[in-house]
Amino acid sequence: MGRWWLFFLTVSVLLGQPRMDPRIDPWIRSGLPAGARAIGPDVHRVTVDDRAVTVESAGLSMQSFGPLEARPFDGGKGIRRFTYRIPRRPVAAAKPVAVPLGVMGSFLTGVPLYNQAGIQAYRDQNLWHADVIAPYKAPLSPLLQALLDRRDAHSPLIGFALDGYPIYGPYGWDGQQRVRGFRSSYRLRGGNTRRRLPAGEELTPAQEGPPMNAEFPNGTFVEDYEYVKGHGDLDEHNSRFGKTPDFPGGTYAYFLATREDGTMAYPYLIGPTYRGEFDHGDQRDWRPLGTASGLRLFTKGGDWRVGEPVAFAVASPHSVLERVHEKEMHVLVISEDLGWFDHIHPDAVTRQFFAGTHVFPHAGVYWIYVDHTPPGQTQMIARFRVTVGGPPEPRVPLLDAGTREVTVAGVRATLTTQGPLETGRDISFRFGLTEATTGNVITDLQPYLGAWGHILFVRQEGDEVIHAHPLEANAAPLSPWVHSHAMPGPSPAE
């Protein structure tokens, strides 16, 4: 009986009357004692200041919005902790603001609302993202079904986006205060091929999506849709301005988009961009450092200093970047004297903004190479030159080893090539790895980022770099410039 009582209690709250403060009062708060609340369902705590309402929860609830709560992120074990900061006075953005690739908002139960188009992608290329809600075949949850069925009244407030605007069910008031369902302005693009992204980029053959067929029908991927202004009632953000029971003076609000038959329609609750201003982790505090190959490098805080965490970010002008060797962006950091190197991966905040931190071990000048693959193009490397302050370090002299063999950390690497090292020639490189003490071939390598090895060629002047991956001896013959992922089975001998 406990679960059913909670269900009817939740429905009565969600379908109830307007509150005194719709940004503070409607959150479904936990009824557990304070000691047990931290691991329990619903909202644990709501605090308010002049700028925002802060809501804390474990992302759990006895009630469910079914597929709208699909959880493609934070799949780790253990108790989760969520803190949502909802602006009290949202401001409409002058231009579209990309939603995060993680949590986009919160239901009133404290359960996170995720961006569904960020994880599952065809061939893991980050180009064709699966619509995880469309193929949902199980019966809808009672709460979600109640929202879709109640067509005679304005839908209740069910949550807030992180830009501060409210989220409602499928039915609202039109300009004449009549109740109606709101239609999405996104439609299927049609055709039978997937050679172009919605932003217009023509893809390379290796980046194309699968043909539209019984296995991958139109609508399988979110990229199968395009926004057409005026096609429906909602804008590109899946929002509209109007009066609601909670905001009788009018507000921008997101609505659960539906079709004529009352079923849910893409983009469901929030589109690919917010209607309001939103700060992605204090993104406005970033200051530019430079531009290369269309990418922009940013930092925040003071000058870069040795031994101190440095915040950096890279902004891309492309609608998306192809995921190559498990990452959309590989950042290669090399000291100017070529004596130090690191391979790092900033986190994707949105599809176009990547941020991270790094600690430089020595003062001096560094090259930062950003390896990325835009849609419709092949691998590109943008190059930036930065200076790290601190006590001066002696330069590491470059030495011609005079041999094709080096030993590092007990591993002896031997290099052989076919023919002399000359420009304009297609040169095959082979690397053999053995134990330095015994000479035994190393046979227990583990793949890293989808490859048995990563190879970097850098000119002494630092102005040219090649980031490559090995072809395996047991792989099918490939063109010399095609890089294969790690094959299953034991690691290769060379």
Contact 257, 268 (CB under 8 A): yes
Q: Cβ atoms within 10 A of the Cβ of 383, count?
A: 17
pLDDT band at 281 (very low <50, low <70, confident <90, very high): low
Whether 19 and 99 share a structural domain = yes
What are the tens digits of pLDDT across the range 205-224? Answer: 999 999 999 999 999 999 99
The more confident residue out of 219 and 487 is 219
Domain boundary among the residues 253, 276, 299 is at 276
In which order are the strands placed within the sheet that holds 82-87?
Answer: 43-48, 52-57, 82-87
When the pLDDT of each residue in the chain is averaged and rounded to a whole number, the result is 87
Whether 370 and 454 share a structural domain = no
432 found inside a domain: yes
Choice among 43-52, 102-111, 199-208, 278-287 with the minimum mean pLDDT: 278-287
Instruction: Flag whether pLDDT at 300 surpasses 50.
Output: yes
For residues 284 and 300, give the distance between their C-alpha atoms in angstroms, rounded to a whole number. Answer: 9
Which of 160, 150, 132, 165 lies closest to 66 in space, CA to CA? 132
The residues, ordered by sequence, that sit 6+ positions from 349 with a Cβ below 8 Å of its Cβ are: 100, 101, 280, 281, 283, 313, 355
- Could you tell me the pTM of the whole model? 0.85
Whether 231 and 346 share a structural domain = no
- Provide the number of structural domains found in the chain: 3
Classify residue 50 as left (phi > 0), alpha (psi -120 to 50) or beta.
Answer: alpha
Whether 483 and 346 share a structural domain = no
Range of the domain at 108: 2-276
Q: Which of 9-13, 271-275, 427-431 tops mean pLDDT? A: 271-275
Whether 380 and 239 share a structural domain = no
Mean predicted confidence (pLDDT) in 296-322? 94
Whether 365 and 266 share a structural domain = no
pLDDT band at 158 (very low <50, low <70, confident <90, very high): very high
For residues 112 and 109, give the distance between their C-alpha atoms in angstroms, rounded to a whole number. Answer: 9
Whether 54 and 130 share a structural domain = yes
Whether 227 and 312 share a structural domain = no
395 found inside a domain: no
Whether 118 and 221 share a structural domain = yes
Whether 120 and 268 share a structural domain = yes
In the block, which residue shows the tokens 């005194």? Answer: 20
pLDDT at 175: 87
Instruction: Flag whether pLDDT at 138 surpasses 80.
Output: yes
Beta strands in 230-301 (DSSP E): 239-242, 251-255, 273-276, 287-292, 295-299
What are the tens digits of pLDDT across the range 197-209? Answer: 999 999 999 999 9
CA 25 to chain centre: 32
For residues 104 and 237, give the distance between their C-alpha atoms in angstroms, rounded to a whole number. Answer: 12
Whether 433 and 481 share a structural domain = yes
455 found inside a domain: yes
What are the tens digits of pLDDT across the range 434-471? Answer: 999 999 998 888 888 888 888 888 988 888 888 888 87
CATH number at 370 reads 2.60.40.1930
Whether 115 and 245 share a structural domain = yes
Mean predicted confidence (pLDDT) in 275-301? 88
pLDDT at 137: 84
**What backbone phi and psi angles, to 5 degrees, belong to 12?**
-65, -35
Instruction: Flag whether pLDDT at 127 surpasses 80.
Output: yes
Report which residue type is found at 42.
Answer: D
